[in-house]
Amino acid sequence: MAYVYRHIRLDKNEPFYIGISKRKRRCNDGVGSNRNIIWKRIVNKTEYEVEIIMDDLSWEDAKKKEIEFIQLYGRIDLGTGILSNMTNGGEGRLIHDYCQYPLYTVWTNLKKACYNSNNRAYYLYGGKGVLICDNWVNNFMNFYNWAINNNWVNGCAISRKNKNEGFTEENTIVLKSTKDIINYSDRCRCIKYNNEMYTSEMFSDKFNIPLQLVKSRRSKKWDADRIINTPVMECKRNKSSKNKNNYNGI
């Protein structure tokens, strides 16, 4: 049989964690346990007590109730409520075995960027309508299995093939090295000229323009014709620094 429990912080007299267990001592696990970082931060600030909400449930019923209670109270990491839970529940003990794994952090950071408007990266993702597919957003193990099957290891990055679409199995890619990450990022911002696509490096070599100058002019949203046809101003003492910078697009 299983049960559903909650941790109640005594400084505010409100629940901050919902869990389920088959083991009677699980609900009393302390700071040294495999809890997530939000839970630990709260426990470092205040004492808490444990309350068993429902008991004598089947394991499947306990998982369903966990989902219901987490939805009721909402989650801190998503900006929807007061719970330190970092999933929507229903996974049981398995999810806690992975909560210290780097890929779990990647998953939670993706969700924050896509769904938490208080996250500093939200304007690049959720603010632009970039979301995570249903198969991943509430199920870490689905995301975990996809990543491992696509040769993810610690240090890899998760990106999207089409920047206009969200994170799905078809549109997501694993980048394995810093060079891959830089090159892929640059390919996604290619320069189009005469119906051909160029990375900044290719454009620099093709038209004999310093690479840093190409990147600087691109950051100013110059089109390809202007980047090519605006000559580079030499640094001369009789020219003001301000005019030189504006001329070169810096």
Per-residue model confidence as pLDDT tens digits over 113-161: 898 888 888 888 899 899 999 989 878 888 988 998 988 888 788 888 8
Residue 102 has pLDDT above 70, yes or no: yes
From residue 5, how far is each of 38, 98, 139 by CA, in Å?
18, 21, 21
Band (pLDDT 50/70/90 cuts) for residue 42 is: very high
Average per-residue pLDDT for the chain = 80
Residue 204 has pLDDT above 80, yes or no: yes
Sign of CA dihedral 71, 77, 83, 89: positive
Band (pLDDT 50/70/90 cuts) for residue 108 is: confident
Residue 88 has pLDDT above 70, yes or no: yes
Cβ(25)–Cβ(97) below 8 Å? no
- Cα separation, 114 vs 13, whole angstroms: 31
Q: Is the whole-model pTM more than 0.75?
A: no
